[in-house]
Amino acid sequence: MQSGNPYRSIENGVPGRIGCRIHYFDELDSTQEAARTFAAGGGPQGLVVIAERQTAGRGRMGRSWHSPAGLNLYCTIILRPRIPLGEVPRLSLVAGIAAAEAIERQAAGLVSLKWPNDVWLKGRKAGGIIAEAVTNSRQELECVLLGIGININLAIEDIPAELRTKATSLRIAVGHPCDRIEIANSLFTLLDYRYMEVVTHGFDAMRPQWERFSALTGKRVTVVDGPRRESGIVRGIDSDGALVLEVGDGPRRILAGDVSIEGAYE
Ligand code: BTN
């Protein structure tokens, strides 16, 4: 059910630009599914779905996303880029830059990005990004559902006990509540800018922006992808957005997996 929309004031109405339309719901299973329905009905690029609460919020690799009401930002943005299917994951790195830049306005010096899709504050996870491709019957890209979750006003006692050493929020990091509408506005404006930049100039031009926030570069890490396990020192990301790991016999490109920093509590 859609009631009064507190995000209406930041809807920009500009066709094709992020935030052109913002649909707000008190409760959804997942903003990804509502955005999928809008996209199937011809919803334009830039349309945003926001839920106050999600009952089945989801993260990468089939994980769930804790989505209580009244505290955080849960949104999905419809993008319609003309790119090959294989380039979709780069859009989540671009969204990471925009999310880090938006959070940096409230928490300068505290935000970092953990490849591929985690937004960290003081070394704990405060946000996550998921980029789901929707294809047609010829397996061509129809659109991308870019989901972003940011823990904004979650207090420590709102975090499930088993996640307290790993998860955080903007409020916990800076010590006071933050304005969700202002953060959403910054996020959509910065994402619009970064998205235009990537479709015009390509991902390689954006690597320095991503590296500026990288939590992993120079660190010894272990990457686990199903049965595969690889350890080495992170050299950064390459022009495709792959993680470049220095292992014993040279650099190795990592395309997927869960990364943990050796010696850090994960
Ligand atoms: C991750 O870190 O695993 C990605 C988390 C993505 C969560 C967001 S919240 C809004 C959107 N709706 C969902 O169900 N998931 C994404």
Determine the average pLDDT of the residues in 167-182. 97
Closest to 185 in 3D by CA, of 252, 109, 105, 249: 105
Instruction: Categorise residue 170: left if φ over 0, alpha if ψ from -120 to 50, beta otherwise.
Output: alpha
For ligand 1, is residue 151 a contact (CB within 6 Å)?
no
Protein residue whose Cα sits closest to atom 15 of ligand 1: 58
pLDDT exceeds 60 at position 266:
no
Q: For residue 214, give the DSSP letter.
A: B
pTM of the model: 0.96
What was the pLDDT predicted at 68? 95
Rounded distance between C-alpha atoms, residue 74 and residue 32, angstroms: 10
What was the pLDDT predicted at 221? 97
125 CA: nearest ligand 1 atom: 2
pLDDT exceeds 60 at position 124:
yes
Domains assigned to the chain:
8-213 (3.30.930.10), 220-261 (2.30.30.100)
pLDDT exceeds 60 at position 156:
yes
Protein residue whose Cα sits closest to atom 2 of ligand 1: 128
